[in-house]
Amino acid sequence: MSKKINISDWVVKSKDNPDKYALRQVIEILINSIGQTKFLKGNMFLKGGTLMALAHESQRMTGDVDFSWLEPFNKDAFLAIDEIIRESLDESMNKARTRLGYLDMRCKVQRITKMPRRWENDKLSFPALEMTIGYGKAGSRQAELLDSNQCVQILRVDISFNEEIKDCEELILEDGKTSINAYSPIEIITEKFRALIQQVSRPHERSRRQDVYDINFLIKQFEYDEEEKKLILENLISKSESRDVHPNINSISDPKVKEAAKKEWHTMKLELSELPDFDKCYKNVEEFYRSLPWR
């Protein structure tokens, strides 16, 4: 499954806001550089708020970019993956900014941190990489600080490992030749249902207030037939049980799940021009969840 997207138009829409405009340019450089690098393209699958904005025209947009990494590695072979990614991205981003015409925009990977172990059954000692890409206009103080990795203008990029990717789509960029891999709407919904249900058993993890918004957005935007609903359910059960979570038809109706999802809902006012009513959104999400073929 493939879908055409136009990142350039998305970048131009923010031209009245210099800070947002510069950030979106760097995101466009990053996306293009991944699409032009075989190793990165084959393993990095776009997800999260940036995917929702680029592929589905969602108004919810955060200042970071999230990916899942596909290729499994054993622990020893994976130790240097941070440096491999750094070298690949720095080289490809330099080429991408020239190709895109952003000649005055400098950017480079500043920091990559291996996140600590969180689950006992992880295949790796670090389940994710947290990366920052510094950027600045040529000749500016921020551009000068890039060389010493002290630039404060940054794009945050998170790369998660050990995640099952069941359903994906190819996003084709404007040139018709470059593309990246991304979660499909079915994969997004599946993963977000899993995360919502799991938050009760793992309350130490970050708030999932965006998940209800995103699921509600996608079920209003697309129709899902019985086969697609069946796939969502099958994938949800598989993904959940791999984390020792066992969903049932009533899981999303658990007051604790709803309470946890609502906890920081109000903070999305910073991302949206108009924040929808949580209870209405949750009701839509709950009805869709219960309409899956549980029997």
Predicted pLDDT of residue 271: 80
- Counting Cβ atoms within 10 Å, is residue 248 exposed (0-12), middle (13-18) or buried (19+)? exposed
Phi/psi region, residue 33 (left: phi>0; alpha: psi -120 to 50; beta: rest), is alpha
Instruction: Please determine, for residue 161, whether its predicted confidence score (pLDDT) is greater than 70.
Output: yes
* Whether pLDDT at 205 is above 70: no
DSSP H or E stretch at residue 258: helix 255-262
108, 132 contact by CB (below 8 A): no
- Lowest average pLDDT, out of 35-49, 69-83, 222-236, 274-288, goes to 69-83
CA–CA dist 215, 281 (Å, integer): 9
pTM for this one?
0.91
Q: Give the per-residue pLDDT at 163.
A: 81
Domain segments of the chain as ranges? 2-183, 185-290
pLDDT value for 109: 96
> 273: closest CA among 12, 60, 55, 7?
60
Mean pLDDT within 237-242: 90
For position 125, what pLDDT does the model report?
A: 54
pLDDT digits (tens, 9 = 90+) for 12-62: 999 999 999 999 999 999 999 999 999 999 999 999 999 999 999 998 877
What band does 120 get if pLDDT is binned at 50, 70 and 90? Answer: very low
CB 171 within 8 A of CB 28: no
Percent of the chain with pLDDT over 70: 91
